[in-house]
Amino acid sequence: MSKVLRSVVTGVGGYLPDRIVSNEELARRVDTSDEWIRERTGITQRHQAADHQQVSDLAVEAARRALVAAGRTAADVDMIVLATTTPDLTFPATAAIVQRKLGCPIGIAFDVQAVCSGFVYALSVADGFVARGRSRCALVIGAETMTRLLDWTDRGTCVLFGDGAGAVVLEPGEGAGTTADRGLLGLALRADGTKQDLLYVDGGVSTNRQTGHLRMQGNQVFRHAVVNISEAVVAAAADAGIEVSSVDWFIPHQANQRILEGVARRLGIDETKVISTIAQHANTSAASIPLALDQGVRDGRIKPGQLLLMEAMGGGLTWGACVLRL
Ligand code: UT7
């Protein structure tokens, strides 16, 4: 059997800011209710970064925890790929800021912008380096301060998002070229720029020199979500050469409990295999998958050697899925 190099997740870490904002607190600020938010989304609370915290600070905390879990230090890191929609600055890339704050040696550092699909995109980009022997120790991070992008007068969006960061350490590992290998086994990425108006930010450097606010036609995005995500999951499973039913854990992007359940139902995934953090974290965009992974690893559900399926959809529209064995 031929030997192949795989990108193996050797450590996982997450970080959530201390401040918790309940639905009740939001209901005192905007025309909404705990009941509406719970019923339509599954969200009960979200975390919000403190004023002094930048998204790089959240990323650094998650990265430190992932490095400890991997038995590595900042000195080992030769590459940082960071997925975010809410960077510290327009430039430099937040990944380079994280590199400085962590004290990593000179290496590769850049951001990936695919909104809520950012972590799946970033993982695939890092895989392109690690599985070709071009990185020995990569940090792949999803980090967001989405609450800073919200229009607090728009109840259709401001109740949905939260702040946080999740990270994994990726290292090369030799496999036999079979589905029993540890590492990233299958991938499917998609983008459809014609659907921009469904989910976007109404500001930007080159448009109006402003940061802007998140705008979403929620019910339209919802309509596309289950169908698009399901197609990508089936494609990623085929790419990996596995059956969707054989995965141990389904770790979806956390946008709406009804979407999670809709995808799981459509694909015949048992609901006991779904990792859901939407109630506590709300939608943390690119951070939601690594945060959910971290949650599952820390509470002992997700174990080394298990087969994981991750998926996401977000602004672009972008979407995608990947299969990996931990
Ligand atoms: O992560 C990126 C991808 N994002 C997503 O996947 C999000 C996808 N979309 C969704 O999760 C859902 O569409 C939402 C949770 C955003 C909205 O749920 P919905 O069931 O699609 O509601 P809707 O937008 O169709 O609105 C239904 C009603 C409207 O009132 P009328 O017109 O029926 O009188 C809204 O004005 O709910 C009203 N509404 C609210 N009411 C209380 C909208 N937001 C709120 C709110 N509180 N926060």
> Mean pLDDT for each consecutive 10-residue tract of the chain (326 residues)?
91 98 97 98 98 98 98 98 98 98 98 98 98 98 98 97 98 97 98 98 97 97 95 98 97 97 95 97 98 98 98 97 98
Helices 118-130 and 288-298: crossing angle in degrees, nearest 10, is 80
40 lines ligand 1 (CB under 6 A): yes
The active-site residue out of 104, 116, 158, 322 is 116
Query: Are both 4-175 and 183-325 of the same fold?
Result: yes
Q: Which residues pair with 165 in a beta bridge?
A: 15, 143
* Residue from 300, 319, 321 nearest 309 by CA: 321
Q: Is 283 a catalytic residue?
A: yes
The verdict on pTM exceeding 0.75 is: yes
Domain 183-325: which CATH number of 3.40.1030.10, 3.40.830.10, 3.40.47.10, 3.30.1490.190: 3.40.47.10
Distance CA 78, CA 57 (A): 19
Q: Is 155 in the pocket of ligand 1 (CB under 6 A)?
A: yes
pLDDT at site 1:
61
Q: How far is the CA of 47 from the centre of ligand 1 (A)?
A: 20
Any ligand 1 atom below 6 A from CB of 214: no
> How far is residue 38's CA from residue 60's CA, in Å, rounded to a whole number?
31
Distance of CA 221 to the CA centre of its chain: 18
Which of 31, 37, 40 to mutate for ligand 1's pocket (most ligand atoms within 8 Å of CB)?
Answer: 40
- Ligand 1 atom closest to 285 (CA): 1
Domain over 4-175 is classified CATH 3.40.47.10: yes
Nearest CA to ligand 1 atom 8: 222
Q: Is 224 a catalytic residue?
A: no
Question: Does 255 contact ligand 1 (Cβ within 6 A)?
Answer: yes
| Domain assignments of the chain as residue spans, ordered by start | 4-175, 183-325
Q: What is the pLDDT of residue 2?
A: 76
Distance of CA 217 to the CA centre of its chain: 21
